[in-house]
Structure 1
Amino acid sequence: MKTRIIFVFLILGMIVTLPVFAQSLITIKTNSNSYKEGDTVVISGNVSTIIVGTPITLQIFSQGNLVDVAQFNVAEDGSYSYTIIAEGPYWAKSGEYTVRASFGEDNVAETQFNFSPKSDVIATDIFEVDAGSYGTFDVNYSINGGTVKNMLIDKDIFALIVIIESENDGSITLEMPRDAFDAKKQDQTDDTFIIIIDGIEVPYQETVTNTNSRIITINFEEGDSDIEIIGTTIIPEFGTIAVMILAVGIITTIIVTKNRFQIPI
């Protein structure tokens, strides 16, 4: 009777300790704690006991939704590694992602990392705009959801044209220097800009206005490319040297005219 009781306790002890052993059978880690869209995610780990003919099943979840799944065998030394590029239709939401590795029955390991799609990544830079004979002027900008390819002026319509490549819906914020580009009423008070994206007028938000610059934010949609910001004043086509040459030319003309027609001064 005592032998049976001892045997039962031994069996119960094995049942209780088995899940603990099983959970430590596999490990998992990633090569970083955070990724941006387009980054390479390397998932690796080890199994303490190789089960012949049993593959590892790898799953990646975002807020409970399956993002990616793969299945592969472990190496002879019990290690494994899986590489994936963080991009595609299922890599859409920012936040915490969970990686789950399963090996056989009840052998599961998990780890987490943070992910940011391009629409959440803000790029900040300064663009040097070519202003012809005037020289250049700088426009500070930040953009998410796309990249700035070029900025140029169209003096005929008093416009700053920003050419972007938009991978997602996003926005661009521009700090425009008043001495290069502005929108003024006849009484010299601030006027609103006209914003046109690919031929369609759109609204904008003006966040900061001071004596040196105006900061505006424009929302755009995936696929948009040309943003026209139309004001009322733009830097002259002639720079300081050109104006001096023009002034000399006017004075010379006056002198020639005086000599020819004997106009007294």
Structure 2
Amino acid sequence: MYYYKIISIILFAVGITFSLTPSVYAEEPISISTSQSLYNEGDTVVVFGTIAKTFQGLPITLQIYHEDNLITVAQVEVALDGSFAKDFSASGPFWTSDGTYIIRGFYTSDKIVETTFEFYKQASIVGSASFPVDIPNSGTFDMGYTIRGGEIKDVTINKDHNSLLLELAAESSGELVVKLPRSSFDAIKSDGGDEIFIILIGNNKNDLENFVQVQYKEVETGSDFRSLQILFEKDDRWVEIIGTYVIPEFGSIAIIILVAAVSSAIIISKSKLSVRYN
């Protein structure tokens, strides 16, 4: 009799343990993300996610709101593996206000999820402000910039990387546009054509392994400048822009350095995609 009482107590205790076990090991019932955190008018808003348990033939309903205004709605087919994706064009009569937009996903009464993104009708005006950049033993040059969602605290040159290192104070996810004077900083191929820049973002200057490569958009190009649009997130603090030279006398092997950076860089996501999209 005593033996059975002990067994009963043990089973009861085990039951309590399982009932109190945190649900961190359980799969989220539904998740939703966007391809980037900020969009301008005319961009494509890519919404995607997964549903842990699906019902055959039941679509997910996606709604986009700005404040209390419904911007658009769509019913999206869910794949057999529980994944879904939908493109929305950020244009039309309802996309009129700048600010934070909310995406809500409804699958069943207990599977509701939402996320947000920032929308601006117009991209930042290129180079509406300038930041003086010190060139060691060579004076300074002005880097034009515009930023939304934060401010630039400092810009320094890393001559070993042929790069600019920008320190940010990010209040939220946002957008940085920099106007780079070709005479002082550029990315050039051996044949004289434009080379791509390498953009790395991190939150700890001394922890280079946690810097990740992100994509950028070259929003304006001239004979004496190049302007880049870079999206950042709230926790981002450092942005490194790698070119092939910071003033031409800063090294004859700069192009080799950039080629090596391009070939070895692995685009790692800081968002919920595997890369950050333009």
TM-score, normalised via structure 2 length? 0.42
**Structure with the higher fraction of residues in helix conformation:** 1
Question: Max radius of gyration: which structure?
Answer: 1
